[in-house]
Chains A and B, each alone.
Chain A
């Protein structure tokens, strides 16, 4: 009878970026590490002394899955720094563009990376051979998001046409109509995703209590705000983030690791739903009420369900936004009214809070700080990985392969974005 077990996953498959898991579990306890081996890319260093226009072209390269948030968030920070006042139309179009990314990212995560776990396949190619309609649903949802980002941003990965002050050439009414039709059609598709994830019980053992951080939505369930709220009824203004969010270095991780009130915490779709779920409307509201038992704040697997509900909610919002915007009017981007200043912006990227703090002097970036959601939730993910290993061990599971695949599933539920996580600078 073994008295302890080491489980090592060198490289977790089906996530964005390179990370491994190292767990040592015994009756005495567990030691779980998430090794982040993706190389550092020093984004804050390489954007220093650059013109802000060039810097906002560099930041999105942090990550392809969420390049649009890594475009729009620094744009907001630069606009605050230089007192740029974009038009109301620009604000609405930005929200539309941003939601396009969230739809694409959630669809890619759920259908290509997560669903193979639920069905016991190594990948979506194998799923497609057996259940092609399921993968087609995913591709269609991804296409809606990609179409929005291409139409407004020039392309779905690394969009260049979102600018400080406004946009480049805007799509015409026919294109907007086509997107609206796709979104309308996508709502039913996304509902099938909610159905899928409510057919399975969540794996047990991962239920440590946790705080959820998200933005405080000013009016509707969305991705833009200025206030950060915690599920323990606390909140802070994003400009004060430095006093509330701590970061630590661990020798086994090129990603820095966040804590709030000295404890691990969670961000992402589940956190948004926990904190702002009351604001859901329409079909998303109905689905949420119908499946409220699946919104378990302390089980990370609920994040998959939350992403599915969000796809419904955001597709409804996309439809309504297009109705509100109508035919976009070509405008000149708003100009900066000064050349120096500081700005802090926060948005809800697909994986959770994304914070950019940018200082500019004479049109040059002199200081930049980027805090990504994955860096924030890594320690919480480690807790859950440890809990899962402990739970399986205590129930007699000794098969390394079985334990390893469960641990990978835990990490996948968070939808980690490792490329994003390796860029945090401030100490």
Chain B
């Protein structure tokens, strides 16, 4: 029996859909799936009942919200794909910095009127129930294959709950945070990329989002950053790029940077 899937995009860069479209080993599994909806690639199809819906992008307009509800109503399983769907994406920095939609809108469009209503970017689980999360900006191919394969076998994907650091040590990289003071977010970012950027000698920017279940060690990383000479504002802003948020981030940073004074 083939599994029916739909691939959808809300407000985003379309990179997750592009990653899904160009998976090299897709032919190994594609026979098990019927792609019912993939509007970026196909002019056929309306949103119809499927077994699994993959959703990329943040909720940034009323239309996004309506479409998302329609997707949920037609899917047994909904998978949030990528940073925008899971955390709101870089566009959710607005929320972090307390900038309202109206403020940002005026900044960009002035006094112009628009036929459509927008909002500050939100993750999709603010509107619908999400069954699984496939992280990345964009997601990595082996993980896409793993998710597809588990679904095809009738089981489910297990989300990783440990940081990029673990993979980085295994990859044999020197620690560019400890040794060179690079602003690497590997210690708080969820694994799955095989420490891709650090293997290119570039510090992690946390694009996969924080280790889930509030288990990311923001405080010890912030302390290390402080020791390496980063100021409080830089630490907070860098952690917030991909929504590596902690409910008590402010207090935590207050404590860490107060000790200094």
Decide yes or no whether A57 CB sits under 8 A from chain B: yes
Which residues of A, 248-285, contact B by the 8 Å Cβ criterion? 249, 251-252, 254, 256
Whether B205 contacts A160 by the Cβ 8 Å rule is: yes
Indicate the size class of the contact surface on chain A.
Answer: 35 or more
- Cβ contact within 8 Å between A42 and B108: yes
List the one stretch of A8-16, A230-238, A343-351 in contact with chain B: A8-16
Pairwise interchain contact A67-B13, C-beta atoms closer than 8 A = yes
Could you say which of A38, A116, A427 has the most chain B C-beta atoms within 10 Å of its C-beta?
A: A38
Contact present for B99 and A45 (CB under 8 Å): yes
Q: How far is the CA of A115 from the CA of B18 in the complex (A)?
A: 17
Q: Is the CB of B234 within 8 A of A51?
A: yes
Q: A39-B64, A155-B196, A160-B205 are in contact. Are A46 and B40 (CB under 8 A)?
A: no
- A112, B41: Cβ atoms under 8 Å? yes
In the assembled complex, how far is the CB of residue A15 from the closest CB belonging to chain B, in whole angstroms? Answer: 8
User: A residues 40-79 with Cβ under 8 Å of B?
Assistant: 40-46, 49-51, 53-54, 57-58, 61-65, 67
Least Cβ distance of B12 to chain A in Å? 7
Nearest residue (CB) in B for A252 is B115
Q: Tell whether, in the assembled complex, residue B205 and residue A40 are in contact, meaning their CB atoms are under 8 Å apart.
A: no
Q: Does A169 contact B (CB under 8 A)?
A: yes
Known: A123-B42, A161-B197. A45 touches B15 (CB 8 A): no
In the docked arrangement, what's the CA distance between A17 and B57, Å? Answer: 11
Q: Are A37 and B61 in contact (CB under 8 A)?
A: yes
A40–B19 touching, CB < 8 Å: no
Q: Is the CB of A58 within 8 A of B108?
A: no
Q: Does B153 contact A (CB under 8 A)?
A: no
- Asked if A124 is at the interface (CB within 8 A of a chain B CB), the reply is yes
CB interface residues, B 87-142, toward A, < 8 Å:
89-91, 93-94, 97, 99, 104-105, 107-110, 112-116, 118, 121, 137-138
Given contacts A16-B14, A123-B44, contact A425 B108 (CB under 8 A): yes
Q: How far is the CA of A155 from the CA of B42 in the complex (A)?
A: 26
Q: Is B178 an interface residue, CB under 8 A from the partner?
A: no
Q: Which residues in chain A, 92-148, are within 8 Å of chain B measured between CB atoms?
A: 108, 112-113, 116, 122-125, 139, 142-143, 146
Cα of A180 to Cα of B42 in the assembled complex, Å: 33
Contact of B40 among A16, A54, A154 (CB under 8 A): A16
Beta-carbon contact of A254 and B15 below 8 Å: no
What's the nearest-Cβ distance from chain A to residue B178, in Å? 18
Are B94 and A45 touching (Cβ within 8 A)? yes
Q: Is A419 an interface residue (CB 8 A)?
A: yes
Residues in A with CB closer than 8 Å to B18 are 64-65, 108, 157
Q: Is B1 an interface position by the 8 A CB rule?
A: no
Complex formed: what's the CA distance from A45 to B96 in Å?
12
User: Which residues of B sit under 8 angstroms from A408, Cβ to Cβ?
Assistant: 43
Interface centre among B22, B107, B200, by most A CB within 10 Å? B200
Contact present for A154 and B13 (CB under 8 Å): no
A319 located at the interface, meaning its Cβ lies under 8 Å from any Cβ of chain B in the complex:
no
User: Is A389 interfacial (CB-CB < 8 Å)?
Assistant: no
Taking CB atoms, residues of chain B closer than 8 Å to A44 are: 107-108
Cβ of A251 and Cβ of B234 under 8 Å apart? no
Contact B200 A161 (CB under 8 A): yes
> Could you tell me the distance between the alpha carbons of A160 and B203 in the complex, rounded to whole angstroms?
9
- Contact A168-B42, Cβ < 8 Å, known A39-B61, A45-B94, A64-B138: no
Q: In the assembly, what is the distance between CA of A168 and CA of B183, in Å? A: 14
Question: With contacts A65-B18, A161-B202, A251-B112 known, is A58 near B13, CB below 8 A?
Answer: no
- If A11-B39, A425-B107 touch, whether A154 touches B241 (CB-CB below 8 Å) is no
Residues of B contacting A65 in the complex (Cβ-Cβ under 8 angstroms): 14, 18
CB distance from A138 to the nearest CB of B (A): 10
Is A158 in contact with chain B by the CB < 8 A criterion?
A: yes
- State the CA gap A160–B182 with chains docked (Å): 14
Determine whether the beta carbon of A17 is less than 8 Å from that of B14: yes
Residue B245, interface by CB 8 Å: no
Tell me if A30 counts as interface (CB < 8 A to partner B).
no
- Let me know if A61 and B63 touch, CB within 8 A: no
Instruction: Find chain A residues with CB under 8 A from B43 CB.
Output: 13-14, 116, 122-123, 408
Residue in contact with A38 in the complex, picked from B11, B35, B90, CB distance below 8 Å: B11
Partner of B22, one of A54, A61, A142, A256: A142
A40 partner residues in chain B, CB cutoff 8 A:
60, 104-105, 108-109, 118
Contact with A along B9-39 (1 / 0, CB 8 A): 1111111101101101000000000010011
- Give Cα A203 to B216, complex, Å: 57
Residues of chain B lying within 8 A (CB to CB) of residue A309: none
State whether B116 touches A37 (Cβ < 8 A): yes
CB distance from B4 to the nearest CB of A (A): 15
Residue numbers in A under 8 Å from B109 (CB-CB): 40, 249, 256, 427
Asked if A163 CB lies within 8 Å of chain B CBs, one says yes
Q: Would A254 and B42 be within 8 Å (CB), given that A37-B61, A157-B138 are in contact?
A: no
Chain B residues in 8 Å Cβ range of A63 = 13-14
How distant is B5 from chain A, measured CB to nearest CB, in Å? 13
Q: Is B201 part of the contact surface with A, judged by Cβ < 8 Å?
A: yes
A169-B201 in contact (CB<8A):
yes
Q: Whole-angstrom distance between the alpha carbons of A62 and B107 in the complex?
A: 18
Cα(A142)–Cα(B11), bound, Å: 25
Does B237 touch A at the CB level, under 8 Å? yes
A-B contact pairs, 14 of them (CB 8 A): A39-B64, A41-B91, A41-B121, A50-B241, A51-B238, A54-B241, A57-B241, A58-B90, A64-B16, A108-B18, A123-B38, A146-B22, A154-B197, A160-B207
Question: What would 19 more interface pairs be, CB under 8 Å, given A64-B13, A424-B108?
Answer: A13-B39, A17-B14, A18-B63, A37-B116, A40-B60, A41-B90, A41-B121, A42-B104, A45-B104, A50-B241, A64-B138, A123-B38, A125-B35, A143-B24, A154-B196, A160-B207, A161-B197, A169-B200, A169-B201
Q: Which 4 A-B pairs have the closest CB atoms?
A: A39-B60, A64-B15, A123-B42, A39-B11
